[in-house]
Amino acid sequence: MNQRTLALIAVSIATLIYGITFTIAKDIMPNYVKPFGLILLRVSGAVLVFWTAGIFIKSKKIERKDFKSMAIAALFGVALNMLCYFQGLNLTTPISASVMMVTTPIIVLIVSSFMYKEKIIPRKILGIVVGLIGTIVLIIYGNKANGNASNRMLGNFLVFINAASYGIYLILAKKLIHKYHPIVFVKWFYLFGLIYVLPFGFLDLIEVDWATMPTDILLKVGFIILFTTCITYLFNLFGLKKLKPTTVSVFIYLQPVVATIYALMVGSDALNLIKIGSTILIFTGVYLVTKQVENSTK
């Protein structure tokens, strides 16, 4: 099995984990752990795991100039990404949130065009427009949809900001992971992230009543720390070493499929015309934007 195939499998597994996480995190928040407290748990757990693993990794030291790049990547890939994601998911429904994440490939294309001066052809411009129309429809009219959500409009908007920040992170991380061992990169990445999220999540975390928390919720918190945080980031980093950022971002449009199936199975969300229509528009936009990705060598 070649390295590219392994990278595709790794990114696929990460996508599966992310898809399930939409509903699992919704079960935890806000009754047992508030959004920012869950983020602090997630990032703290990742710091502990990766710095422990880093003890056994022999790799070259981080160059001083790259610490700034890592700090910026952590700002988008941990702080802004997670703060908006969990707070947004807390306010909206799992299916709506997963559909909003599909806009990431569009964001990656837009940011790449500015950073690397890549020309955007008319078909991709049309894809951006169609995808953003679907996003706007879901943000504005998704508040009329059913499901367990207290403020769908704000929640959907925050998940969109999360998707945009994650797209920027994919581009920023691409150069760094080619220079350093994935564990070395990610341990510093999460340490910077911990510094960012600590002020937001500290008060929420100390309010958690661990003694009365049901066993299934404890297991779900553990799942988010170990699988959604540690495993997915390592698998995505491995994918980024072998694939283009746009290719990795395309796998995000599998998340709504996994999230929808799981959410419907456990009864945490429901489908309606607004979600279906918005999804069709967003998927159409992503298809137009990423149509030639499969023709690339990576």
What tens digit of pLDDT does each residue of 30-71 get?
Answer: 889 999 999 999 999 999 999 999 898 887 788 888 999 999
> pLDDT tens-digit profile of 16-35?
898 888 889 888 988 899 99
Q: Identify the sign of the CA torsion 149, 154, 156, 160.
A: negative
What is the rounded average pLDDT of the residues 274-293? 73
Confidence of residue 298 (pLDDT cuts 50, 70, 90): very low
pLDDT value, residue 180: 86
Which long-range contacts (C-beta less than 8 Å, at least 24 apart) are formed by 118-127?
123/288, 123/291, 124/288, 124/289, 126/288, 127/284, 127/285, 127/286, 127/287, 127/288, 127/289, 127/290, 127/291
Q: How far is CA 133 from the centre of its chain?
A: 21
What pLDDT is attached to residue 269? 66
* Higher-pLDDT residue of 46, 240: 46
The stretch 96-109 carries a mean pLDDT of: 74
Q: What is the number of domains present in the chain?
A: 1
Calculate mean pLDDT across residues 258-286. Answer: 75
Determine the pLDDT at residue 296.
45
What pLDDT, on a 0 to 100 scale, did the predictor assign at position 163? 83
pTM for this model (two decimals): 0.74
State which residues form the domain around 76: 3-295
**Is residue 157 over pLDDT 80?**
yes
Residue with token string 């919704």: 26
Sign of torsion over alpha carbons 203, 206, 210, 211: negative
For residue 35, whether the previous peptide bond is cis, meaning omega lies within 30 degrees of 0, is no
Q: Quick one: average pLDDT of 90-119?
A: 74
Per-residue pLDDT reduced to its tens digit, 174-188: 778 778 888 888 899
| Mean pLDDT score, 105-132 | 74
Within 10 Å of residue 159's Cβ, how many Cβ atoms? 29
Mean pLDDT, the chain, whole residue set: 81
Q: How many CA atoms lie within 13 A of 176 on its CB side?
A: 28
The pLDDT assigned to 196 comes to 96
- In the predicted model, what is the mean pLDDT of residues 92-108? 75
**Model confidence over 188-229: pLDDT tens digits?**
999 999 999 999 999 999 999 999 999 999 999 999 999 998
- Does residue 291 carry a pLDDT above 70? no
DSSP the chain: --HHHHHHHHHHHHHHHHHHHHHHHHHHTTTTS-HHHHHHHHHHHHHHHHHHHHTT---PPPPHHHHHHHHHHHIIIIIIHHHHHHHHHHHS-HHHHHHHHTTHHHHHHHHHHHHS-PPPPHHHHHHHHHHHHHHHHHHHHGGGS-SS-S-HHHHHHHHHHHHHHHHHHHHHHHHHHTTS-HHHHHHHHHHHHHHHHHHHHHHHHHT--GGG--HHHHHHHHHIIIIIIIIHHHHHHHHHHHS-HHHHHHGGGGHHHHHHHHHHHHTS----HHHHHHHHHHHHHHHHHHTTGGGS--
Least confident range of 44-53, 78-87, 156-165, 274-283 = 274-283
- Lowest mean pLDDT, pick from 8-12, 206-210, 254-258, 284-288: 254-258
Note whether 71 and 188 are within 8 A (CB): no
What type of residue sits at position 14? A
Per-residue pLDDT, 253: 62
User: How open is the CA angle 258-264-265, to the nearest 5 degrees?
Assistant: 90
